[in-house]
Amino acid sequence: MTDFLTRARALLGDAHVLTEGLDAWAADWRGKFIGAPLAVLRPADTGEVAALVRLCAAHRVSIVPQGGNTGMCGGATPDDSGRQVVLSLGRLNRIRHVDLLNNTMTADAGCILQTLQDVAAGHDRLFPLSLGAQGSCQIGGNIATNAGGVQVLRYGNTRDLVMGLEVVLPDGQVLDLLRGLRKDNTGYDLRQLFIGSEGTLGIITAAVLKLFPRPHANVVALAATTSPQHAIELLALMRSRLGDRFTAFELISDACVAMVRQYFPQTPSFLAGEHPWSVLMQASDGGEQQALEAAFQSALESALETGLIEDVAIATSENQAAGVWALRETIPEAQQHDGANIKHDIAVPVSGIPAFIDEVVPLLHAAYDGVRPVIFGHCGDGNLHFNVSRPPGWSTADWQEETDRINDIVLDAVARYQGSFSAEHGLGQLRRNAMLRYKAPLEREVMRKIKQALDPESLMNPGKVIYG
């Protein structure tokens, strides 16, 4: 390994081959997975990534690509063998090109998501991918996980926003798919293989991203509702009244609001009293603010009249709108403060959400007295974060021991609803058991063949995604 490190230093310079003080790269955001990397390599451009990949292949050193390290499944965390390197993409942070007439932006993989949003806004365009970690996650990581977030209802997942890609393959060749084309039926769409591949097929070094007209009118509201059934009926009503202008619909259970208040007591109350469920809604368009507000308010009046909602607060300033979003986006951090929670990032058909919740919550209570389901998320996409926090009196360590049993309760139910056991976070190393239990053997077999074809030596993020 000394020879490997010497050559890596020759390629990148001493300052960018780190072998000490690696804690920040060795553990995931949740602190659930902790590895022991041989080194952290910090290339500056695609050429350096390609040279490093060739060096790793020659020395049979496996590579764990890492972006902002905000992933929820331990995908960017190395194992504890001390033989894997973390390849950190943070120095690949150039915006290569903005094409306003084509509505595209070409950016290096290490660009921070929020920077891309800001650059797009500076050109009076919208890059709609939006998630709580946007201040630190990178577009390469977003693409590698096919991230979802809070605007999927209107704009789709990351997959829908990527028009072209540049990828360093496991043998060090650079696959240039950096095309800004909306139509291109010239064989298999290779981009799609790498989107959501979690670093197991190659290293994404740049992407062509779709831009949209920037909305100038924006309405954000928080409504109280009595049940998930009313919530999904409200979703249908709002969509029928606002159409494509309706961009976000996030369900928040009372346990989430209480937890955010407990750990972030400065969080304002937007609604009087306590409610079992709240819904954060957003609409935006390029027209007049007043017209959008009028349409939004009229829909809400119908919802109040028909009893779908009990109360509603419409943000009256950008500041207040940001505050309402902060209540929602702070839930994961509040859960971190609260100690271990067993996470589920599930999807079922939107119409199945109420029955799913009604079925699973009693199953959890029957299994564990005082268990605290912390349910929230992208209800408009059928995607819920169905996290299970420990009952009072349980230690974090004891609760972690229950992970398999709780996963079985929640994820067996997901399977009964023909749902997904990982809707937006991916698999990483967290979902190994679920992959083996719920993914059809033939689907796994086809995935294995693709992996074998592209990465026969299994150098790219081994131990993630492909199991069994």
Question: Using CB under 6 A as the criterion, which residues of the chain lie in contact with ligand FAD when the complex forms?
Answer: 29, 64-72, 75-76, 89, 109, 131-133, 137-138, 140-142, 144-145, 147-149, 198-199, 203-204, 332, 424-425, 428, 461, 464
Instruction: Report d(CA 408, CA 433) in Å as an integer.
Output: 10
Nearest by Cα to 175 from 459, 426, 462, 455: 455
Nearest by Cα to 350 from 309, 379, 386: 379
Rounded least distance, CB 315 to ligand FAD, Å: 20
**Rule CB under 6 A: is residue 464 a binding residue for ligand 2HG?**
no
Q: Which is nearer to ligand FAD, 22 or 304 (CB)?
A: 22
Q: Which does 385 bind (CB under 5 to 8 A by kind): ligand FAD, ligand 2HG, none?
A: ligand 2HG
- Among 332, 382, 426, 462, which residue interacts with ligand 2HG (rule: CB under 6 A)? 332
List the alpha helices (DSSP H) in 306-402: 318-329, 331-338, 353-367, 396-401
Binding part of the chain for ligand 2HG, among 47-55, 74-82, 331-339, 360-368 by CB under 6 A, reads 331-339
The full DSSP string for 42-94 is: ---SHHHHHHHHHHHHHHT--EEEESSS--SSSTT---SSS--EEEE-TT---
**Rule CB under 6 A: is residue 343 a binding residue for ligand 2HG?**
yes
Q: Which does 88 bind (CB under 5 to 8 A by kind): ligand 2HG, ligand FAD, none?
A: none
The dihedrals phi and psi of 465, each to the nearest 5 degrees, come to: 65, -55
- C-alpha dihedral (113, 116, 120, 123), degrees to nearest 10: 150
**Rule CB under 6 A: is residue 431 a binding residue for ligand 2HG?**
no
Q: Which is nearer to ligand 2HG, 112 or 379 (CB)?
A: 379
Q: Which does 343 bind (CB under 5 to 8 A by kind): ligand FAD, ligand 2HG, none?
A: ligand 2HG
In the stretch 369-408, what mask flags binding to ligand 2HG with x, by CB under 6 A? --------x-------x-x---------------------
Q: Are 343 and 426 in contact (CB under 8 A)?
A: no
Burial code (b: 16+ CB inside 10 Å, e: under 16) for 299-313 equals bbeebeeeebbbebb
Rounded least distance, CB 28 to ligand 2HG, Å: 12
Q: Which amino acid is at 83?
A: R
Name, in order, each residue with C-beta under 8 angstroms of 220's C-beta and a sequence gap of 6 or more.
Answer: 280, 281, 282, 314, 315, 320, 321, 324, 325
Name, in order, each residue with C-beta under 8 angstroms of 100's C-beta and a sequence gap of 6 or more.
Answer: 123, 125, 211
Give the residue at shortest CB distance from ligand 2HG: 332
Rounded least distance, CB 27 to ligand 2HG, Å: 16
Q: Which does 406 bind (CB under 5 to 8 A by kind): ligand 2HG, ligand FAD, none?
A: none
Q: Which is nearer to ligand FAD, 347 or 371 (CB)?
A: 347
- Site residues (CB under 6 A) for ligand 2HG? 132, 331-332, 335, 343, 377, 385, 387
